[in-house]
Structure 1
Amino acid sequence: MTALVLSLAAVGVILAFLGWIFPAGSVREIVVGSVMVACLFANAILLLAGDGVVGWREAWWNVLLLVSAVLAVAGGGPLTTSVLALVDRGNTRAQSTQKAGEVLRGGALIGCLERAAIFASVVAGWPEGLAIVLAIKGLARYPELRSPDQPASVTPQAVAERFIIGTFTSVLWSVACAGLLLSR
């Protein structure tokens, strides 16, 4: 079972990096993100059906720790843009969360840092870290979310929606990846 869990996690990492290659919101990115999520769920089922990582050699657990961390950080970007693309279906250009990304600059880098901090907090058993990360992100983004100087091509609601959906998707993904290790 150890080999299967590690293999599925490694496939997830490969898909995560592949997701960064495709254009944001493209059908290929959405498919890659969906398969990546399926790999994570398959791993969760395998670990829940068995004894988790109890009894694993320390070296294999460390490999899963590293692979899960990379999956949490790298996989969240394509997954978040895929979710935002699915939310945008049928929206006008001014309501588009993709267009709102022009207001919330640096989202990909901020998201990677956010996922790394959340993953580390959960794995370290320090859930208060989630509150700190989300508070810092919310306070740092507040001026952009409430700025009256936003371009006319995007609504303030679309900017706020992008922030909320992107943050929730990113946080849930990194917590789910950390969850693989909590069966120890």
Structure 2
Amino acid sequence: MTALVLSLIAAGLILAVLAWTLESGSTLEIVLSGVTLACLVAVGVILLAGDGVVGWREGWWNVLLLLAGAFAVAGGGPLTTSVLALVDRGNTRSQSTQQAGEVLRGGALIGALERGAIFASIVAGWPEGLAIVLAIKGLARYPELRSPDQPASVTPQAVAERFIIGTFTSVLWSVTCAGVLLSR
């Protein structure tokens, strides 16, 4: 079971890194993100069906810690952009969440830092860290969310929608990756 869990996490991590190299919102990125998500779900099912990570040798648990942390950071980016692309599919409005990305610059880097901080705080047994990360992000992004100086093609509602969808997807991904380690 240990080898299967580690293999699935490693495969998901490789797929996530490949998805980062693709055009944001492309069909292939969405497919790779879906397979990456399937890897994480499979790991969760395997651990829930068994005894979780109880009885794992410390060395293998440490490998899982490193892989799951990298997976939390790398896997959330393509998944978040895929979710945003799916939200925009068939959108005939000129105000899409993709155009709102022009306003919310640095989202990929901020998201990676956010996922890393959330993963670390949950694994360290300090869930309050999640609230602090989200409060900092919300306060830092507030001026961009309410700025009247946005391009004419972007509404404040589209910017807020992108912020909320992106943040929720990113946070849920990193918390789920941390949950793999806490399946004792």
| TM-score w.r.t. length of structure 1 | 0.98
CA distance in 1, matches of 2:157, 2:96: 10
Please provide the CA RMSD for this pair: 0.7
Matched, 1:117 2:117: yes
Alignment of 1:1-184 (within 5 A): 1-92=1-92, 94-184=94-184
- Give 1:90 shift: 2.0
Secondary structure (helix, strand or coil) at the match of 1:91 reads: coil
CA distance in 2, matches of 1:18, 1:89: 22
- Give 1:92 shift: 3.4
Contact (CA 8 Å) 1:16, 1:78: kept in 2 or not? yes
Question: Runs of 5+ in structure 2 lacking a partner?
Answer: none
CA distance in 2, matches of 1:92, 1:151: 18
Secondary structure (helix, strand or coil) at the match of 2:94 reads: helix
CA distance in 1, matches of 2:94, 2:167: 21
Contact (CA 8 Å) 1:10, 1:67: kept in 2 or not? yes
| Paired letter, 1:166 | G
Identity score, percent? 82
| TM-score w.r.t. length of structure 2 | 0.98
CA distance in 2, matches of 1:176, 1:80: 14
CA distance in 2, matches of 1:121, 1:16: 22
Contact (CA 8 Å) 1:93, 1:153: kept in 2 or not? no
Q: Could you list the runs of 4 or more consecutive aligned residues of structure 1 that deviate by over 6 angstroms after TM superposition?
A: none
- Give 1:93 shift: 5.4
CA distance in 1, matches of 2:41, 2:53: 15
